[in-house]
Each structure stands twice: as C-alpha cells, then as structure tokens.
C-alpha cells in the first residue's frame, strides 16, 4: 500500500506521539456498560499495538470524572444528565486541546458519543479550520427541540454548530464548527428533525446509499473534496463503532442494520491516515456489556484495529 507516500504530518511533533484519552462515560445515553468500552480496548492491548506501529504512546490511565448524583442532576427540559454531560465533556475538551497543542495525537476512547462535544471543541480550540469527518449510523445532530430521546449522545453536533436553543449549563461550548467543516459517512438512521437540520444547513453526508452506489473509495474521496479540497486542513475523525454493520460490531447501544463492512470501516481509517492530516481521533460507543462474550471480543478487537488503521497500519 502507500505508506511510503504518506506525507509527513505537519501538525504532529517528533517523535510522533499518541495520547490515549480513556473516557469511561455513559451519561449521554441510558444503557450501562459503555463506560467499560475504553477499559476493554486498553486491556485488549491497544497501547502495545500502537507502540508496535512506531508511536510513542502516552496513557495516563482512564479519566476519573467527578460524579454528580442523579438526584442533583434533574433533566433540563428533556435533556438527560445535563450537568454531568456538560462537566465531563468540558474536561475532555481541555485534555484534548492540551494534547493537540503539544503536537500529540489524542485518541479518545469512549464512552458514549456525547464525548465528541468535548473532543471536537478541544481540537477546534487549537485549529479553528480543522475539518470533522463523522462516521456513524446516526447524525447525532438533534437539538433540545428535535430530540425524541433526550439522550445527549444524539446531540453533540448541534451543540458544536450552535444550533437549537441555548442551554446555560452548556455555555462553555462555543459554536466553533461551521457546516462546511463537517461531513458524515455511514448514515442510515436519521430522525426526521435531523434530516431537516442537515438540509437547512447544507451539511454534506454520505449515507449507506452513497456507499452502495459509489463504493467506499469514491465516497471518502468525495468527502475529503468537500471539507478539505486542497488537502491542507487538519482532520478530526470521530468514529462511532455503530457505523459498522451489527454483524461486524454487535456490542453497541444503538445498532442499526445495513452498515459498513469490516473493510469499508477500515478503509476510511486507512485513507484518512494516508492524507497525513489526522490530528485527533475518537472511537466511541463500544459497549462490552451488550451481547455475548464472543460478540464483545469481536467488537473490542474491531475497535482496536480501526484505531490501528487510522494510525498507519497497512495491509502490505
Ligand atoms: N451516538 C449514538 N449512538 N447516537 C444515537 C442517537 C439515536 C437518536 N437519533 C437519538 O437522538 O436519541
Ligand atoms: Mn451511532
Ligand atoms: Mn454517534
């Protein structure tokens, strides 16, 4: 493959360093267990796997988030666990920002996808014109007005874009993301209100329909052409493991059939690595308490291999 041609990353320091940000957090959705995702990914050997790829790996342990008792965190409107999600994602934003600032590549392991409110805020605070490639079955762009579930993992993108009513609890989230900086791949379960938001804001998305129609190679190229036409902007890749088909990654909270194959998921990561522009990576929504042991192992292994692909593992 093309490892010799991979451009030297302009934004990463030498020796190239990956900073693992383990986020055992489940407050953005109702199913327990997703907080164990990062613990399982690290136990499966992710750190040594990345070292073998030639990265210095920094891991300061999984983040300990302050706890807020459910009774102290009643819903704000329909938003569930709002204070907890706000405080956790704010602290994640600070950690990610400090790694990006030092030229380290933060690899944030979720945990649920509300965490991306923090990771992307952190990246954009250092590189305001970075682009975001969001790989997911879902658009996670509900506002407090459109959400049916009240689960904040279905809303981080709208907060980052500054859409919807302003919730004082989340006033730390600055609307740093502009619609043209964002592109989706893998969508197939998008709520009616979200479809309207995507349309009204002209947000580019490649659903599974386009993946079927054009093939993943062309889709990634078109996605990059949209957010990064000159291939000169840093990239934040936010990968929700439920983008993969449930037959590939069964242990996740909101599986949707008809997803990316094993290779399509890895191809996205490989192609983004090849740009030499990746500065931050999220791997979210691995939930080891859902499904049987074999499925859990399979999902954790796929999670590790997606991260390896994004950090330069090649087939040949
Ligand atoms: N990160 C995820 N898995 N999000 C699923 C979101 C599902 C649904 N659209 C909601 O807003 O509740
Ligand atoms: Mn999802
Ligand atoms: Mn998601």
Q: What is the pLDDT of residues 8-24, one digit of tens each?
A: 788 999 999 999 999 99
Please indicate whether residue 226, judged by its CB atom, sits closer than 6 Å to ligand 1.
no
- pLDDT tens digits, 96-115: 999 999 999 999 999 999 99
H-run or E-run covering 284: strand 278-284
The confidence score (pLDDT) of residue 282 equals 99
Q: What angle do CA 67, 73, 78 make, to 5 degrees?
A: 135
Alpha-helical regions (H) of 137-292: 156-161, 192-200, 208-214, 216-227, 262-275
- Collapsing DSSP to helix, strand or coil, 155 comes out as coil
Q: Which of 153, 242, 290 to mutate to test the pocket of ligand 1 (most atoms within 8 A of CB)?
A: 153
Task: Categorize the per-residue pLDDT at 201 as very low, low, confident or very high, splitting at 50, 70 and 90.
Answer: very high
- Cis status, amide bond into 50, omega within 30 of 0: no
Residue 1 has pLDDT above 70, yes or no: no
Quickly count: other Cβ atoms within 10 Å of residue 59's Cβ: 16
Tell me the average pLDDT of the chain. Answer: 97
Residue 2: is its pLDDT beyond 80?
no
CB atoms within 10 A of CB 196: 12
Give the C-alpha separation, 228 to 213, whole Å: 22
pLDDT of residue 67: 87
Chain mean position to CA 170: 19
Which residues are catalytic, by number? Answer: 113, 136, 138, 140, 153, 240, 242, 285
* HEC sequence for 68-85: CCHHHCCCECCECCHHHH
The packing angle between helices 262-275 and 293-310, to 10°, is 20
The 10s digit of each residue's pLDDT in 153-179 is 999 999 999 999 999 999 999 999 999
Within 10 A of 82 (CB to CB), how many other CB atoms are there?
23
How much is the pTM? 0.97
Q: List residues, by chain if needed, whose CB lies under 5 Å from ion ligand 3.
A: 113, 136, 138, 140, 240
- Please tell me the distance from the alpha carbon of residue 103 to that of residue 111, in angstroms, as a whole number: 24
| H or E element, residue 56 | strand 56-62
pLDDT tens figures, 242-282: 999 999 999 999 999 999 999 999 999 999 999 999 999 99
Q: 67-82 pLDDT, tens per residue?
A: 898 899 999 999 999 9
Please state the ipTM of this predicted complex: 0.98
Confidence of residue 53 (pLDDT cuts 50, 70, 90): very high
Q: Is the dihedral of CA 222, 186, 267, 92 positive or negative?
A: positive
pLDDT for residue 4 = 53
Are the C-beta atoms of residues 182 and 203 closer than 8 Å to each other? yes
- The predicted model gives 278-299 an average pLDDT of 97
266 lines ligand 1 (CB under 6 A): no
């Amino acid at each position: 493959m093309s490892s010799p041609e991979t451009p030297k990353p302009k934004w990463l320091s030498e020796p190239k360093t990956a900073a693992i940000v383990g986020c055992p957090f489940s407050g953005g959705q109702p199913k327990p267990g997703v907080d164990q995702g990062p613990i399982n990914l690290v136990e499966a050997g992710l750190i040594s796997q990345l070292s073998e790829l030639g990265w210095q790996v920094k891991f300061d342990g999984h983040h300990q988030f302050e706890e807020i008792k459910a009774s102290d965190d009643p819903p704000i409107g329909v938003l569930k666990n709002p204070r907890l999600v706000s405080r956790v994602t704010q602290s994640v934003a600070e950690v990610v920002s400090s790694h990006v600032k030092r030229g380290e590549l933060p690899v944030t392991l979720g945990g649920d996808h509300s965490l991306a409110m923090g990771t992307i805020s952190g990246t954009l605070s250092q590189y305001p014109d970075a682009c975001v490639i969001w790989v997911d079955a879902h658009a996670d762009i509900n506002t407090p007005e459109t959400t049916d579930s009240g689960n904040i993992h279905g809303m981080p993108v709208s907060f980052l874009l500054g859409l919807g009513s302003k919730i004082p609890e989340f006033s730390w989230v600055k609307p740093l993301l502009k619609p043209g900086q964002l592109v989706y791949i893998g969508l197939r379960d998008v709520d009616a209100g979200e479809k309207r938001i995507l349309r009204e804001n002209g947000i580019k998305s490649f659903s599974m329909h386009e993946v079927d129609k054009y093939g993943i190679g062309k889709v990634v190229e078109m996605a990059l052409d949209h957010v990064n036409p000159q291939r000169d902007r840093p990239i934040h890749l936010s990968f929700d493991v439920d983008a993969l088909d449930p037959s590939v990654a069964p242990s996740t909270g909101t599986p949707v059939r008809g997803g990316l194959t094993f290779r399509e998921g890895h191809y996205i990561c490989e192609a983004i690595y090849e740009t030499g522009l990746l500065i931050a990576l999220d791997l979210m929504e691995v939930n080891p308490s859902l499904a049987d042991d074999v499925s859990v192992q399979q999902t954790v292994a796929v999670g590790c291999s997606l991260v390896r692909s994004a950090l330069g593992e090649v087939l040949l």
